[in-house]
Structure 1
Amino acid sequence: MDWTSWLALLDAHDYTIAREIIQRGVAAVSVLAFASTYRQFPVLLGERGLLPTPEYLERSAGLGGPSLFHWRRVGYSDRLLRIVCAVGMALGVSVLLGLPQQGPGWTTIPVFWVMWGLYLSIHSVGRIFYGFGWESMLLECGFLVGLLGSHQVAPPLLVLWFLRWMLLRLEFGAGMIKMRGDPSWRDLTAMDHHHETQPMPGPFSRLAHLRPRWWHRMEVLGSHAVQLGAIWLVLLPQPIASIGASLVILTQLFLVVTGNYAWLNWLTILVATAAISDPFWRWLAGGPFPEWGWQRWPVLGDPELGGTVSPLGWHLLILAVVAFLAVLSWRPLRNLFSSHQLMNASFNRFHLVNAYGAFGSMTRYRYEVIIEGTQDPDPEAADEEAWHPYEFPGKPGDLRRRSRQFAPYHLRLDWQMWFLALRPGAQDWFVALLEKLRDGDPGIRRLLRTDPFDGAAPTGLRVKYFRYRYATAEEKRTSGQWWMRTDLGVIARVDPDSGTGRD
């Protein structure tokens, strides 16, 4: 074989549909991530936010992750943050429109890498409000999918394989963290409570929770079967790899329907697409079932598929970047098989080749922190009718309100309220939230579902603690309530003069 034939083996001409789905899908998620940051970051972490970024930058002295906000000549401002988000959204829209894909093979790389760099700048100063596994997933995906190239080159097989390696870390890592963690995953009882206690239930979560026990056992078995078993099919020849990826996608769609996990499930679906070949997509559209590929192992491409061989320079670039990522893969690989496996961990400052996983420990009961305010002149003597709750868009509050579907949009404040309910305490961001509510801050109002005082400052605030559970079918018929709850008391009070205090 001459060198052209060897290069042809690195081209994956039968993954063009996968490339389109992955690149445009990751671009769409990026647009959503920048849009949510544009709206929420100034309120949560801006100049006058709950945890102001300028103060953090002064304390950290540039020791955080890479960020253009660390540059002294640049610094942080809400205006600059919004410009960064606007540029990120514009670049994402350009990919959705297919503009970079029309240029030479390399033109998709700078577009995705600029989006990656801009979001990394945000993530590096986002702290607790950006401490989620799907943030690192978006960064890793954003770095990788630009390497799939434009329409002028075939999808690089090495990049598709690296995306499969990412899928393996996502799914097998999640399966192993479950088996090593909470015993409820081993005795098949994990899903008895999960739909009710998950961070942000969706509109069908109650229906899923009220299924019989045998159904919940099947949910756990199905999760183990896919994450510990079927995931390995993506390393086999086609169409077996496509079947394995399809099983992953089906389980992820079930999670989409029964919960709100921002863009976690959608990114996993996109990454799984890297294992689905064009013939399999055509079969799904009504064509013939693809031929079994035992005659060729998909470590290398198939030059008989035809198409122009991609340029030597393009292949050298891909080889160099993949070699760099392969070096970074050693610690994540060890982590997968470690008895001290880390969940949602990054091993470098650039959030490339990360460790993933979720729900290594399960919560059996749902607790909620409810903030209430009053405009009674004497809050200490106010009766119960004078207290009114501040409602959040995603987290449970009003007992009659059915949970809504927000994912893939990420409600960062609502998520932190769930974590707070697990371990109530005077966390800095929560103390600042109470102070903002006490002052009638208009920025915080934009992140709430309802403000009972329509922007006016309350005369007093109190924080109540409840245990929530789903209403049974009979309870819902008689009361009309979606939730039932038990009052566990007041854990903090705030008045305009004394600030915050714990009871």
Structure 2
Amino acid sequence: MDWIGGGHLGRWLFTEGLAVLYLVAFVAAARQFRALLGSRGMLPIPRFLSGTTFWRSPSIFCRHYSDRFFAAVAWTGAALALVTVAGVTARLPLPACMAVWLVLWALYLSIVNVGQLWYSFGWESLLLEAGFLAVFVGNASTPPPVAILLLLRWLLLRVEFGAGLIKIRGDPCWRNLTCLYYHHETQPMPGPLSWYFHRLPRPLHRVEAAGNHLTQLVVPFGLFAPQPVAGIAAAIMIVTQVWLVASGNFAWLNWLTIVLACSVIPDSLLPGAAPTITSTPLWFTVVTAAVTAGIALLSYRPVRNLLSHHQLMNASFEPWHLVNTYGAFGHITKVRTEIVVEGTDDDLVTPATRWREYEFKGKPGAPERRPRQYAPYHLRLDWLMWFAAISPGYGDRWFGGFVRRLLENDPDTLRLLRRNPFPDLPPHFVRARLYEYRFTDRRTRRATGRWWDREPISVCLPPVDLARFGGR
């Protein structure tokens, strides 16, 4: 029985796809960190480092931090990822190839472990876990290690099966197949096609939910069947993930799941995929065996979590993010709420004050603005704004700092936004209001061009000026 199907095509697709996602992740880190995590950021890394140790948060920044050094780390990671995308890394001698992948993993681990709330998403751990396994998949002239390819399947099974379990154990709407009545409208960051997905007939939404359960709770076990069954199981997952990519923005979660599934595709799909190879060095065999044993031991807690009725949705059980647990949307929000941030240059706030709205790049704002496609790029501020709208505690540590930076027209913060309504002078006051958003119906969409209807709910933050923060 052919359990692996060669592995050369799958390895190439996996490493190429992973390198692209590393490139996206490092570029996003370099472009966003100053306002979020920099020395003058909303959650400054130096302040975080003063309360932790290397062994609690392994990071190169525990030895030294400056904004310039962070930028150098991020752009170095991006450069190495670009070189890898170009195929240079795979053609290096085996030790050098492994070293490049190890540096990519170590640099991104360093960022994640000081990233605090901005890097608290499950796909950060997923990128790190997949990136660690990439160190041991070998170069282009080495036979793909069967044990490592099986570990990639084990990771993919935990991603899909964990997500399926968290749903079936969580919100009752997953069990009665009605969650998709709401999800496309209330997901963190809708995409350009989300309005159309939301307007699908309800019977199709039930088919979506049932298909999700099948793909996440049954199909993953086919990954460990002989080929071509394993490849068919992976193809089903890829199709499902493409559907999710089309219906919303989930950073690189769906793309990385696709990349993992591509590692299962057999060489028979593309005759001639196997290059000229050399024998496997004994030391490499020993290393991959040791890594496999280590991953098996570290899998105990994730497996125990999967079997628990108190399953954690996304969690790392050690600071190196080597073996993690995954899951998403155990609870579905039925009503979409959004925080709308506004400013005014009036000297006094009166009932006649004219407020101007800040526009974010990804999260819904102006009703007539169509949602954009950003994934796999990750807009961290936009995502945390969604969490703050449904649970104000998510904004306790950073939202005040965000408002202060708007009152200062801080250039680094404004670069995270789509539009600054005060391009010349900063506003005198900023406020935040909570709105309920709903996708328009077809008739309204045709008549007005609006994608959203919205109604005010409450005031999140009354008008504040810099005096509130000790300025002016």
In 2: Cα distance, 1:482 partner to 1:79 partner: 41
Q: Is the 8 A contact 1:103 1:152 kept in 2?
A: no
Equivalent runs, 1:108-119 vs 2, <5 Å: 108-119=97-108
Counterpart pick for 2:341 among 359, 371, 391: 371
1:65 aligns with 2:33: no
SS at match of 2:51: helix
1:97 aligns with 2:65: no
| 2:201 aligned partner | 212
Unaligned runs of 5+ in 2: none
Report how many residues are paired.
468
Counterpart pick for 1:337 among 307, 312, 316: 307
Counterpart pick for 1:358 among 328, 332, 342: 328
| 1:347 aligned partner | 317
| 1:254 aligned partner | 243
Unaligned runs of 5+ in 1: 1-8, 286-304
Structure 1 residues 497 and 30, CA, compared in 2 at 3 Å: closer, same or farther? Answer: closer
1:170 aligns with 2:170: no
Q: Is the 8 A contact 1:370 1:389 kept in 2?
A: yes
Structure 1 residues 378 and 137, CA, compared in 2 at 3 Å: closer, same or farther? Answer: same
Q: Is the 8 A contact 1:18 1:278 kept in 2?
A: yes
Counterpart pick for 2:383 among 407, 415, 420: 415
Q: Out of 19-28 and 104-113, give the one that drifted further.
A: 104-113
Structure 1 residues 13 and 423, CA, compared in 2 at 3 Å: closer, same or farther? Answer: closer
Q: Which structure has the larger Rg?
A: 1
Aligned amino acid, residue 332 of structure 2: M
In 2: Cα distance, 1:489 partner to 1:236 partner: 54
Aligned amino acid, residue 243 of structure 1: I
Q: Out of 451-460 and 186-195, give the one that drifted further.
A: 451-460
* Deviations 1:321-348 (CA, angstroms, capped at 9, x unpaired): 1111111111112221111211111111
Q: Is the 8 A contact 1:242 1:280 kept in 2?
A: no
1:138 aligns with 2:127: yes
1:43 aligns with 2:35: yes
Counterpart pick for 1:29 among 21, 24, 28: 21
In 1: Cα distance, 2:109 partner to 2:331 partner: 28
In 2: Cα distance, 1:204 partner to 1:480 partner: 15
Q: Is the 8 A contact 2:241 2:254 kept in 1?
A: yes
* Deviations 1:160-189 (CA, angstroms, capped at 9, x unpaired): 000000000000110001011111100111
Q: Is the 8 A contact 1:373 1:458 kept in 2?
A: yes
Equivalent runs, 1:209-358 vs 2, <5 Å: 209-282=198-271, 308-358=278-328
Aligned amino acid, residue 452 of structure 2: W
| 1:292 aligned partner | none
Aligned amino acid, residue 67 of structure 2: D
Equivalent runs, 1:119-130 vs 2, <5 Å: 119-130=108-119
In 1: Cα distance, 2:420 partner to 2:369 partner: 16
Structure 1 residues 345 and 158, CA, compared in 2 at 3 Å: closer, same or farther? Answer: same
SS at match of 2:364: coil
| 1:399 aligned partner | 367
Structure 1 residues 196 and 206, CA, compared in 2 at 3 Å: closer, same or farther? Answer: same
* Deviation of 1:270 (Å): 0.7
* Deviation of 1:490 (Å): 2.1
1:185 aligns with 2:177: no
Percent identity for Structure 1 against Structure 2: 45
SS at match of 1:147: coil
SS at match of 2:218: helix
In 1: Cα distance, 2:422 partner to 2:468 partner: 19
In 1: Cα distance, 2:424 partner to 2:308 partner: 52
In 2: Cα distance, 1:442 partner to 1:214 partner: 48
Q: Is the 8 A contact 2:3 2:224 kept in 1?
A: no
Q: Is the 8 A contact 2:122 2:314 kept in 1?
A: yes
In the superposition, the TM-score normalised over structure 1's length comes to: 0.89
| 1:5 aligned partner | none
CA RMSD of aligned residues (A): 2.1
In 2: Cα distance, 1:250 partner to 1:48 partner: 43
* Deviation of 1:281 (Å): 4.0
* Deviation of 1:64 (Å): 3.7
* Deviations 1:360-397 (CA, angstroms, capped at 9, x unpaired): 11100000000100111212x1525x101001000000
Aligned amino acid, residue 51 of structure 1: L
